[in-house]
Structure 1
Amino acid sequence: MIVSNSLRQEVVNELEFLQSMGTKIFLYPFIGKKFPEMIGYFITYILVLCTAVQLALTLFSFSTKDWLEIINVAPNLGVVIMTVIKYTKIQIHKELYDEIFNHFRDDMWNIVGQNSTEHKRIIKKYKWITVMINRFLLYYSILLTIVVNSFPYLVMLYESKANGVTGEYLYPFDGWYPFDKVKWYTVAYIWESCMTAVVVCVYGFSNMIHASYIIFICMELRILGNCLEEILSPENIVDISEGLNVDLIHSSVTRKLKIIIAKHEFLAKRSAKLNAALGDAMLLNYSLGAVFICLTAFTFMVVDNLYKSVRYFFMFASLLVEIFNQCFIGQVLSDHSENLTNDVYFSNWPNASPEAKKIMLMLMMRTQKPFKLSGNGYFDMNMDTFGSICSTSYQLFNLLRTIYL
């Protein structure tokens, strides 16, 4: 039995929204890109890579005493490198992303009961969560792009109006150029504005698609858990106790369990592959996150320049949001996979056949190893990791404050 078409269509609409967003940065369709789309992908990739090289040259051009300028460039360089990694990984693992996309669009729905109120409630809940997260990331990315690109010009305009003279030339990320960037200020500003928009779009979309996939995996895990809880209905138990249709009921339970195990196996393998695809970015996030959060937080509190204070504050907030996002979705994924063990235990397994009990025991053993996101296996991305990053950042912040204040 299949869930109502309207509810299914709502989930498909959200997947198509991701598809539409991805097409704009040449990452969709994952399979069978046309030649112009591949050209667009390579041009975007080269532009982002050039921005990373530009920021690296900018960083190396400063002396070790210019710690404020180094702090200004290093987080931007880290974000661009992570953008290159995410953009590349999605393209390299396009078969995986396409397979997960098609699974939630077509293959998942054969386990959803048409008359199951609980299944409908679960789907509505997780679809709503997905929509809220995606719209937040979308509008946050738009707002961040507007602020980063317009704020330097607005500050310059304000200083010119207030003081009557043109002050320091300001840029979105203030990169190094092989020419006089003051003389070619308009060209440099347009370049940095465009590349800021590209980086934010790629970064925001990668977060949207990964968060959506993780939430939909959690949704299916919750549906599987509900199927286990209701594997034997009260009517089935009464019939078994009275010796009515026993073989038919046990056969039906065994068949349902095999379907559930197959679905769980699919989710386990795809989650592991998704974890491998995200591993490099998460390792970089963990390795540099605490340092960058500390440096940007310290800097926006100590500088006496309004523009730089606001700039570093937005850097600090963006880094914190990014690391929290990865740790949170990792925690949610682990919690949902672990909860499946409880669903097996609290099902009506005492009334099942010996074969069904063996299958349930096998499933319970599999669920003992939860799904997870990790930094290439070195650490798990969860709320404990987020707490560790924040704690390390605070300790480094106190150290810097003791040294410089």
Structure 2
Amino acid sequence: MSNNLTTMKRLIVSELGFLKTMGNKIFLYPFIGRTNLQMVGYTIMFTLVLCTILQLTLTILLTDTTDWLDIVNVVPNLGVCVMTVIKYTKLHTHKELYDDIFYHFHKQMWDNVSPYSKRHKRIVATYGRVSHIINRFLLYYSIPLIVVVDSFPYLVMIYEEKFLDEKEYLYPFDGWYPFDKVKFYAAAYIWESCMTAVVVSVYMFSNMIHASIITFICMELRILGECLEDLISPQDVSNIRRGVDAVNLEVFGRLKSIIVMHEFLAKKSAALDSVLGVAMLLNYSLGAVFICLTAFTATVVDNFYKRVRYTFMCMSLMVEISNQCLIGQILSDHSENLTNSIYSSEWPNASHETKKIMLMFMMRTQKPFQLSGNGYIVMNMNTFSRICSTSYQFFNLLRTMFLKSRVL
């Protein structure tokens, strides 16, 4: 392998290594061949999140149904924990898929990358930096998020007790306990802090690995597009016109290699869509409701701690939904661009057989890669716009009803 190609690979391989390290910390890597100790760690984390789901479910069932603020306080947390279990188990049960994808980007993808092409080098560098930025943002966003969510209730409680002469015990997510949680405040607080860290960590890694995979798929689609545009070079055109038949065979071979890689990406994208489908459908179905409820509650509660808490809940939900819609939009856009790349090639000079294959390939690329909610709704920016619009309409409705009830 040339030094140029090794240099181009370095950033991508580095990001794959970073994902492997993060996955190892939550017992999900290696995807295949984990030790017994790692499987024990996975089982423990899975069981702890299930216990948290049970705890929050009991909290809702035992809550006074007339106090809707308490229900709103618990339901988004329960939804996040359910999503965490789904993400965690999907990454485990589809470990072969993720292992194949990692191997492809580590080894197979580079067969179509030219170490001497400046455009290929620029594409790899650009998408490698994008992946690096996304991963570091998610990491450095998650760490302070855990610290703030875990420490903010305690700090507010201390402040109110010291300066406002008020004593209200506050918790990270305020769940139900089979014992007096005021008497055992430290134990309850430590439990909720640890589970918050676990949930955020799993969410962070899941978003990180899927955003990186989509970024790398888009990178390879761009490279395949460049290969298609350069499929028949000016020198090839000259040789074809002079009747050099060997050139047509070389062009057909390069086209076949491109189609094979595209077919691999299509299959893995479809498999990834199937893996993420349930989580995306839940996000779409419940996202508008949760965003509306948390935003509305933040505007009507008088308590400073709850107002801040609901505001950050709303912002976190918006970030999560926008992330899934954005990566779905980017994936679709990149796959559709291959049609233009095929048309931009010197296809009029190709052989009849090559033209026929290119035509069929063009028809295939007109069906873009997509991420969807189990096939019911396509995740793109139009979907995000609909979610925001629905949330705003619900918010206005609740706000109007609340103001009228206060007047009456």
SS of the equivalent of 1:4 reads: helix
Matched AA of 1:89: K
Match of residue 30 from structure 1: 31
Deviations 1:217-265 (A, max 9, x none): 0100110000000001122222323x06x21211110000000010000
How many equivalent residue pairs? 402
Deviations 1:283-316 (A, max 9, x none): 1100100000001111111111111111001100
Structure 1 counterpart SS, 2:64: coil
Residue type at the aligned position of 2:85: V
Counterpart Cα distance in 1 of 2:45 and 2:340: 46
- Whole-angstrom distance in 1 between the partners of 2:132 and 2:291: 28
Partners of 2:10 and 2:259 in 1: CA distance: 26
* Residue in structure 2 matched with residue 169 of structure 1 by the alignment: 169
CA distance in 2, matches of 1:390, 1:236: 52
**Paired residues for 1:85-104 under 5 Å:** 85-104=86-105
Aligned match of 2:279 in 265, 281, 284? 281
Unaligned runs of at least 5 residues, structure 2: 404-408
C-alpha distance in 2 between matches for 1:334 and 1:60: 42
How does 1:67-106 map onto structure 2 within 5 Å? 67-106=68-107
Q: Distance in 2 between matches of 1:227 and 1:86?
A: 35
Report what 1:181 is aligned to: 181
Q: Distance in 1 between matches of 2:249 and 2:330?
A: 34
Secondary structure in 1 matching 2:320? helix
Aligned to 1:369: 367
Alignment of 1:101-120 (within 5 A): 101-120=102-121
Unpaired runs of 5+ residues, structure 1, are none
Q: Distance in 2 between matches of 1:64 and 1:185?
A: 25
TM-score (norm 2): 0.97
Trace 1:355-394 onto structure 2 (pairs within 5 A).
Answer: 355-394=353-392
- Specify the alignment match of 2:199 in structure 1: 199
Aligned-partner Cα distance in 1 for 2:271–2:119: 30
Calculate the TM-score normalised by the size of structure 1.
0.98
Q: Indicate the SS of the match to 2:66.
A: coil
> Cα deviation per residue 1:323-360 (whole Å; 9 max; x = unaligned)?
00000000000111111111111111001111110110
1:3-402, aligned counterparts within 5 Å? 3-163=4-164, 165-241=165-241, 243=242, 246-402=244-400
Aligned CA-pair RMSD: 1.0
Residues 5, 114 of structure 2: 8 Å contact kept: no
Structure 1 CA distance, aligned partners of 2:7 and 2:148?
Answer: 38
Equivalent-residue separation in structure 1 for 2:53 and 2:132 (angstroms): 32
Letter in 1 for 2:326: F
Matched residue SS, 1:181 = coil
Q: Deviations over 1:146-177 (max 9, x none)?
A: 110000011011112213x4511000000000
Structure 1 segments of 4+ aligned residues over 3 angstroms from their partners: none
1:102 is matched by which residue type in structure 2?
Y
| Distance in 1, Cα, partners of 2:62 & 2:135 | 38
The CA distance in 2 between the partners of 1:85 and 1:240, in whole Å, is 55
